[in-house]
Structure 1
Amino acid sequence: MKKIALDVGDKTIGVAVSDPLLITAQGIMTIERVGIRKDAGKVMDLIKEHDCDTVVIGLPKKLDGTDSIQTEKVYEFKTMLENKMKSSGMGHIQIVFQDERLTTVMAEKVLIEGDVRRNKRKKVIDKQAAVLILQSYLDTL
């Protein structure tokens, strides 16, 4: 089964999905945040649509490895997603964290090297960060 990755931010959630063989990650969309419950519901819809058995959430630690304010928000999102999935009969789906330090910086570098314009980069950077998070996870399997 496929894996889905999330780059959870304050305004958007970047989403990537693996191929069935768990070799590559592809960015599929960026979710505009509207509220933690609705955002978790949208993620659950994507899990079902893409037939995923694992959710990989990027964990934004500080460079020294300690938690940041954003780390706490990601923990809160994971808890909400977990609770909604359990109450919806999706409790069998595994949720794991993947260190995402510097993924946004790397994603921007990839987009710049790909000659993506600045205004377009803002729209796809979270999706690209999710790709890097998922690819990093897949490489450890």
Structure 2
Amino acid sequence: MKSIEFHPGDYDSHGRLRLPFLFWCVLLLQARTWVLFVIAGASRDQGNTLLNLFYPDHDSFWLGLIPGVPAVLAFLLSGRRFAFPVLWHGFRGLLILAQSVLLCWQPVLWLMGEPVSGVGLALVVLDIIALIWLVTHRRLRACFAIEKE
């Protein structure tokens, strides 16, 4: 059922709230290691070079895939979110937790001896912004609420 709380353009043809565009950007940010993995796999010859450029330590790469799992699952489930409302409802908290882990990840790497770089600082800033957005955005919160019929 439509509410006057959101703009009419925020609803699809079935009267359900659409996921905000920034939600997809946050999913890409959270799944950044997965995106790199897919790009490296698609660029066969340069894939190993690409992975070594971003992840010289291969253990960091495999550990980096873990926080992106909720984002990948949310991406896959988003098209069927109305078929699995209870599962979808729990994903917001899981995405917030994953974003918190990613926010702490880079400073931990710095403490373990990795040099501070502009890319690392940019990722921390983007992680902070994404976490604040995930926690505070009303429309996103409404998209994860269980719909009463």
**TM-score under structure 2 normalisation?**
0.25
Higher RCO (C-alpha under 8 Å, 6+ residues apart): 1
Higher strand share: 1
Q: Structure 1 or 2: larger helix share?
A: 2
- Scaled by the length of structure 1, what TM-score is found? 0.26
